[in-house]
Each structure stands twice: as C-alpha cells, then as structure tokens.
Structure 1
Amino acid sequence: NSGIVHAGFDALPNTLKAKFNVEGARLMPELAKLLNFRLQTKWCASFML
C-alpha cells in the first residue's frame, strides 16, 4: 500500500464517490491522530498524463 490519500479529482459531482472523497479528506487528520500515524499534507500534488 502506497499510503496515498486519493484527491478525488475525477469524481463526478453529486455522486457517492464525490461525497466520500470530501468526507474522507475531512476525517483523515482525526484518523491519523487516533491511529497514531503521520499525515503529511504540506506537499500534496498529482501528476497525470
């Protein structure tokens, strides 16, 4: 597992995928604290061809 949090850039509006992407991103800092892992958000980027 690469440990990458999906950015959700390809989710269609008003779909469950879009809803879960937003909610998941919101919950990640809380989950990191609860499960004691480091969440790096300073250098976030995606590169697609």
Structure 2
Amino acid sequence: MYKRAQYQIITERLKESRHFLQVVLGPRQVGKTTVIKQVVNDLMF
C-alpha cells in the first residue's frame, strides 16, 4: 500500500512522550482521511 509523505511525520509525532493533539489540514480530495486511517491501523496492530 502506498504511504503518503505525511504518514511518517504523523507516526513520529504520535510516538513522542509528550502527547499533543495532531491536526491534519488541507484542501479537499488530497488524502487526509486516508493517511489518518493508515496511521491508526498501523498503531493499533
């Protein structure tokens, strides 16, 4: 499965010891939901 460039950034930030809210912004149809689903799927398993 193709991993977007932002995937690595988001996973690194979520694994940090300080837990900040991560906000994903961008125009329509660029894959925001897709990258979040990939991150959640990989972090849960």
Output the TM-score relative to the length of structure 2: 0.32
Larger radius of gyration: 1
TM norm structure 1: 0.30
Q: Please identify which structure carries the higher helix content.
A: 2
Q: Which has the higher contact order (CA 8 A, sep 6+)?
A: 2
